Copies of this chain bind each other. A is one copy, B any other.
């Protein structure tokens, strides 16, 4: 899959080097890497890469939110991960030299760099620190995935729905009002993360709304009663 975004010369507002895994690089290493990256702007809903495509670089999110989804045999989508500004994207297939097993779609307009495969591997080999950062990222994603497995396996839809809202809060945080989730997902997308039907998702959100756990305004979800939401999610902390 080719880079779908429109190229943005100069890459002035690229802040990848400041945040995320690349903060362990020194100035020289950073410049070397920057020399072999290109930045692009993606509109909401665009694919950054698609299932079965071959990776030819590492994506770094400058701005924007991205969902990693895979398609089940019957066409139903599953949201596997949610990615945000400062995160790296597409590292798994790249590192294990495989095809992408999921697609990356922007949830809003995004600015994304791609670092050339060869230079990224060189940088990894040259900097064990960088390698450890990437490993930590993967380790975190593995833990998150396994937590999700336990949740899907042992919790009912209501608990998972509450958990999903807490996950969105943990991932993207709140807007300035300190209670509205800083991400807009359709009910179907939320269902695709929770592992339920769209109808059940809508029903439960309405119910949480009625019970004053959350407040719904279109796609915007505000968390009104965090404590009760945690209780509903049945989380042990």
Chain A residues engaging chain B, CB cutoff 8 angstroms? 70, 72-74, 76, 78, 80, 92, 95-96, 98, 101-102, 124-125, 128, 131-132, 134-136, 138-143, 145-150, 152-155, 195, 234-236
Within the assembled complex, what's the spacing in Å between the Cα atoms of A71 and B80?
A: 22
User: How many copies make up the complex?
Assistant: 2
Q: Which 7 A-B pairs have the closest CB atoms?
A: A153-B195, A96-B139, A152-B152, A145-B145, A72-B154, A125-B128, A78-B150
Can you report 25 residue pairs joining A to B where beta carbons are below 8 Å apart?
A72-B154, A74-B154, A78-B149, A78-B150, A80-B150, A92-B139, A92-B142, A95-B136, A96-B139, A98-B139, A98-B143, A101-B146, A101-B147, A102-B146, A128-B128, A128-B131, A131-B131, A138-B139, A142-B142, A142-B145, A145-B145, A145-B149, A148-B149, A152-B152, A154-B195
